[in-house]
Structure 1
Amino acid sequence: MDNLSIARLFANIGDLLELKGENTFKIRAYRAAADIIGHASEPFAELNTEELLAIPGIGKAIAEKIREIAETGRLTFHQKLLGEFPTTILDLLHLQGVGPKTVALLYQGLGLGSIDELEIAATEGRLSSLPGLGPKKEQLILTAVARHRQGEGRPLRRTAT
């Protein structure tokens, strides 16, 4: 697996951990690792654990996960996290103005896990029942959904280049 793919995986883990309400430091560690890996010139999948640990910002847990990815092409921890949410929940992050905190609020507060469910709830005015989401935010979300449906959705968040 190349660095960009590994970086996207770690950024995705950061988003899933935020949706889950995990420790902020843990979330930051995965996002920082995604940034480090995405900007590195050396192929991380080819580095051994010692070499990975020598890189500032890469700790033991992250290094072990990189090695698992390199050896198996997948990450058990990521698969477990994905299994805790609807398969469509990460699609919500492609909507302009909808970040992990909002997605967590929508999922935990109203059980919304897809763009279709979000659109219906916003059209019905149900988002206003959540703290920090009033009629103005509902309208912004409906606009974001419409743009997404027209193919103007924002690119994946925090993708390393």
Structure 2
Amino acid sequence: MLKWLTRIDATLTFLERTSVALLLLVAVIILVADVALRAFFGVALAWAAELTRYSIVWLVFIGGAIGARSGAHISIDVLGAILPPGMAHRLAQIAALIAAGTTAMLAWYGWTLVSQMKQFGQTSASLEWPMWVVYLAIPTGCTLMSVRFVQNALLLSKDARRLTAAQSTA
């Protein structure tokens, strides 16, 4: 079971990081090409700003999952610093579970928004892409973040048990 979960984690991490890298690459290439074409040829790509914006939106939501996995999200850890280590771990675990619940709720409402956008049939101005594809970044990113926060809570639980066992033998 642990081997299976480790493999899923590695695959998910690879997909998240690769997606973010590709989205950033697309945004940079399109932006540089648009600026170069404007500067040297006086030609602008009408869709460049839109594609760059949508790439960055997706990058931010998927990047949020990477941040959740690595514990890089903003947190207030003053209370954790003054509490005993075991209680600090429990507090961090509770915070991770609250974050997981919050992002799961955002994913749910994101799906509702995507469903509505799909029914409306709205398309983007320049690219004429269905807008639900852009809005799909919300439930996708929030679902990934929720999974990563639960993963952190489980890891913190394991660490807390190890810490408690070490304190009882000391």
What is the TM-score of this pair, normalised by structure 2?
0.20
TM-score by length of 1: 0.21
Please say which structure displays the higher CA radius of gyration: 2
Which has more helix, going by share of residues? Answer: 2
